[in-house]
């Protein structure tokens, strides 16, 4: 199983969101797509889900061009909050389950319990942390081949992050799934990653295996990222 982006360019109006980007992802690995806000992370994820299409180049999933059909196999957590406020937690779960054939109710129940979410509560009464948790439950409960998380920790306190990380590690199927996390919170995410991909205003400026980075260059992902940005800025003045 794999995802491939080949020579992808995506523009919004005159602005480039991605410039000639080529990257690929293999199963059994956790990838971090890291970069500042507005660097093209979300666009990359949308192209993989088939919610947006490239202006140039191609995006494929298992050698099939990404379309609304391939999105069946891809679970996507947006950075936006997309719940019906008047639904209860349980109604939200049931609604998501009705939309995706790969929704695993058993997993959802375990996740809800682990995240300590009260299923009878209305979405509008949930704290920000619990909304974040609920979002993750609806994404992780799918037996999808690919899990895409867009800023899963954004605005959440360290305890909530911790419970999200633990659930990710507990429920990820490492033999069959690809996990791709887009975030600007580099230090927080580093211990989770196999590989880091640095994206900077539409360009992929680096890709490394995290442990090799530390072993061979003595750099954490954040230090590496800062060096790349400096070099990139120097070359493109």
Partner 1 sequence: MSSEFQSSQPIYMQIVDRIIIDILQEKQSLGGKMPSVREMAIKMGVNPNTIQRAYSELERMDIVETRRGQGTFVLENDDLLDQLRDSMQKEFIENYVQKMKEIGASNQQMISQLKRYLKEDE
- Select the span of 52-60, 119-127, 132-140, 190-198 touching partner 1 (CB under 8 A): 190-198
Q: Per rule CB under 8 A, is residue 226 in the interface with partner 1?
A: no
Single residue of 8, 93, 108, 193 touching partner 1 by CB under 8 A: 193
Q: Which two tokens stand for residue 124?
A: 């509008």
As measured in angstroms, the least distance from the Cβ of 143 to partner 1 is 18
**Burial annotation 29-65 (CB, 10 A radius, 16+ → b, else e):** ebbbbbbeeebbbbbbbbbbbbbbebeebebbbeeee
C-beta of 206: minimal distance to partner 1 in Å? 17
> Given candidates 188, 226, 228, 229, which one binds partner 1 under the rule CB under 8 A?
188
Tokens 């993750």 label which residue? Answer: 136
Return the bridge partners of 178, or none.
146
The site map against partner 1 for 118-157 (x = CB under 8 A) is ----------------------------------------
Taking the least distance from each CB to partner 1, the nearer of 32 and 40 is 32
Q: How far is CA 216 from CA 49, 60, 119, in A?
A: 34, 32, 48
**What is the rounded radius of gyration, in angstroms, for the C-alpha atoms of the chain?**
18
Sequence-separated (6 or more) residues with CB below 8 Å from residue 226: none
Nearer to partner 1 (CB atom), residue 110 or residue 192: 192
Residue 13 binding partner 1, by CB under 8 A: no
Q: Which residue from 90, 95, 87, 91 is spatially nearest to 122, judged by alpha carbons? A: 87
- Stretch 29-68 residues interacting with partner 1 (CB under 8 A): 29-30
Q: d(Cα 230, Cα 224) in Å, to the nearest integer?
A: 10
Binding to partner 1 by residue 218, rule CB under 8 A? yes
Per CB under 8 A, contacts with partner 1 among 156-175 are 158, 161-162, 165-166, 169-170, 174
Nearest distance, CB of residue 109 and partner 1, angstroms: 19
Put residue 151 in one of left, alpha, beta given phi > 0 → left and psi -120 to 50 → alpha. left
26 forms part of the interface with partner 1 (CB under 8 A)? no
Provide, rounded to whole angstroms, the least separation between the CB of residue 193 and partner 1: 6
Mutual angle of helices 105-114 and 158-171, in 10-degree steps: 150
Residue 191 binds partner 1, judged by CB under 8 A: yes
- Binding residues for partner 1, per CB under 8 A? 29-30, 158, 161-162, 165-166, 169-170, 174, 188, 190-194, 210-211, 214-215, 218-220, 222-223
């Amino acid at each position: 199983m794999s995802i491939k982006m080949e020579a992808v360019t995506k523009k919004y109006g005159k602005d480039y969101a991605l410039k000639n980007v080529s990257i690929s992802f293999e199963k059994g690995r956790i990838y971090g797509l890291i970069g500042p806000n507005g660097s093209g992370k979300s666009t990359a994820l949308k192209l993989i889900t088939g919610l947006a299409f490239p202006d140039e180049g191609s995006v494929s999933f298992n050698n099939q061009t990404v379309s609304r059909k391939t999105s069946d196999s891809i679970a996507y957590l947006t950075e936006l909050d997309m719940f019906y406020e008047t639904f209860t937690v349980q109604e939200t779960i049931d609604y998501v389950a009705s939309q995706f054939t790969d929704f695993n109710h058993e997993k959802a129940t375990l996740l809800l319990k682990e995240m300590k979410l009260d299923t009878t509560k209305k979405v509008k009464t949930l704290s920000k942390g619990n909304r974040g948790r609920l979002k993750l439950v609806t994404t992780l409960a799918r037996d999808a081949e690919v899990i895409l998380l867009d800023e899963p920790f954004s605005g959440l306190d360290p305890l909530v992050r911790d419970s999200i990380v633990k659930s990710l590690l507990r429920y990820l199927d490492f033999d069959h799934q690809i996990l791709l996390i887009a975030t600007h919170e580099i230090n927080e995410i580093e211990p989770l990653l196999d590989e880091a991909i640095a994206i900077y205003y539409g360009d992929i400026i680096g890709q490394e295996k995290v442990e090799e980075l530390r072993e061979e260059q003595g750099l954490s992902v954040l230090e590496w990222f800062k060096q790349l940005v400096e070099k990139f800025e120097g070359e493109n003045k």
